[in-house]
Amino acid sequence: MTKIIKKNIVPKVEQPFQEEKQQIANLQKDSSMSIKVFSIAILSVVIILVGALLLTKTNQNTENTKGISSEKQINKITKEELAKHSTKDTCWLAISGKVYDVTKYISSHPGGEAILEGCGKDATDLFFNRPGGKGSHSPSAQRLLSQYEIGELE
């Protein structure tokens, strides 16, 4: 007589796709690291390029200012050039050796179009001895001039 032994055979079942899940986790870890390394590399390149750009700009500024003091560069304007600007459409005048483009100020001038008498020439006498014996322009008018300065008379 044969005895049949029933074994409770239950296959050992691991969680499905455990190995695949581990491989995916490893890939994610690797790609996350790759992204971080790539980001750092890109950031380093950007920093180097910005530094090079700033250095180039600084060198250009240095080369452009060799032999020039730290003060602003002064335009020298000849009497011939000054004379070309003698209308209300383009009014330059010279006062005490400095040249001013007062074209935009003409409409605001308290003395009206009297300012046009000085256009295109040395107006120092007109400025300090206003027509009609009214004396010199006020200190505020003298300060206002600096806004319109464009150079020095040669």
pLDDT in tens, 9-40: 555 555 666 776 777 677 666 666 677 777 77
Whole-number Å distance between alpha carbons of 149 and 105: 12
Burial class of 12 by CB neighbour count within 10 A (0 to 12, 13 to 18, 19+): exposed
Q: Regarding predicted confidence, which is higher, 18 or 108? A: 108
For residues 148 and 123, state if they share a domain. Answer: yes
Please give the residue range of the domain that contains residue 139: 76-153
Residues 59, 87: one domain? Answer: no
CATH of the domain at 93: 3.10.120.10
CA neighbours within 13 Å on the CB side: how many for 59? 6
Do residues 80 and 112 both lie within one domain? yes
Total of domains in the chain: 2
Q: Does residue 9 form part of some domain? A: no
Q: Is residue 40 part of a domain?
A: yes
Boundary (domain end) residue, out of 33, 63, 93 = 63
107 and 129 inside one domain: yes
60-70: buried (b, 16+ CB within 10 Å) or exposed (e) per residue?
Answer: eeeeeeeeeee
- Tell me how many degrees the CA angle 134-136-141 measures, rounded to the nearest 5: 115
31/91 same-domain check: no
Same domain, 81 and 145: yes
What pLDDT, on a 0 to 100 scale, did the predictor assign at position 44? 73
Average pLDDT for 1-13:
58
* List of residues 6+ apart from 92 with CB closer than 8 A: 77, 82, 85, 99, 100, 101, 102, 103, 119, 120, 150
Tokens representing residue 129 in the block: 């001895």
**Mean pLDDT highest for which of 3-17, 42-56, 63-77?**
42-56
Which residues make beta-bridge pairs with 90?
A: 87
Question: What mean pLDDT comes out for the span 123-140?
Answer: 84
Residue 138 CA to residue 5 CA, distance in Å, equals: 125
